[in-house]
Amino acid sequence: MVNDRIVMEPDKHISTDPKGYTLIEVLMAMAILSIGILAIASLQISAVHNNGMGNLITQATMLAQGKMESLKSTGNVAALTDGSDTNIDHYGDPGGIFNRSWTISNPLGGSSSRQIEIAVQWNKRGVNRQVILAAITRGGGL
């Protein structure tokens, strides 16, 4: 009887050493790492942009609040008039990007109260932004 068994010898060209990495594995790992780093960089850019926008909104709100407090502290509300400040910085000094305006109205009638509406506008990268505060006051800080 003849033995029909064929013995396959391992291919001499394929490495069976499990210790090393192939070039394809290294390239795939670098591609995955690169995609992760790009995603993190994109998030960082968004965070910096949003922090800058939040800072501008806070500055504009503080400008409006400061003016609101000074107008509300007026003793005679009937003497309040409309006004505006142009090109002011976040301290209210000349030379900034903010424009602040306020309007005084009398929606309730009479002479004991006034409505104050303050708008702070600015333009950043071609986009107009605005913060508006409104309150009704009797004067004297109330």
Residues with Cβ < 8 Å from 112, sequence gap 6 or more? 77, 138
Instruction: Give the Å distances, CA to CA, from 65 to 59, 95, 112, 133, 140.
Output: 10, 20, 22, 7, 16
- In 3D space, the residue among 60, 108, 106 whose CA is nearest the CA of residue 81 turns out to be 106
Q: What is the pLDDT of residues 84-104, one digit of tens each?
A: 999 999 888 999 999 999 999
Average pLDDT value over all residues in the chain? 88
Instruction: Indicate the domain borders of the chain.
Output: 23-137
pLDDT of residue 110: 80
Tokens of 135: 């309150």
pLDDT of residue 108: 86
pLDDT of residue 1: 52
**Low-confidence residues in the chain, pLDDT < 50:** none
Q: Report the predicted TM-score, pTM, of the whole model to 2 decimal places.
A: 0.72
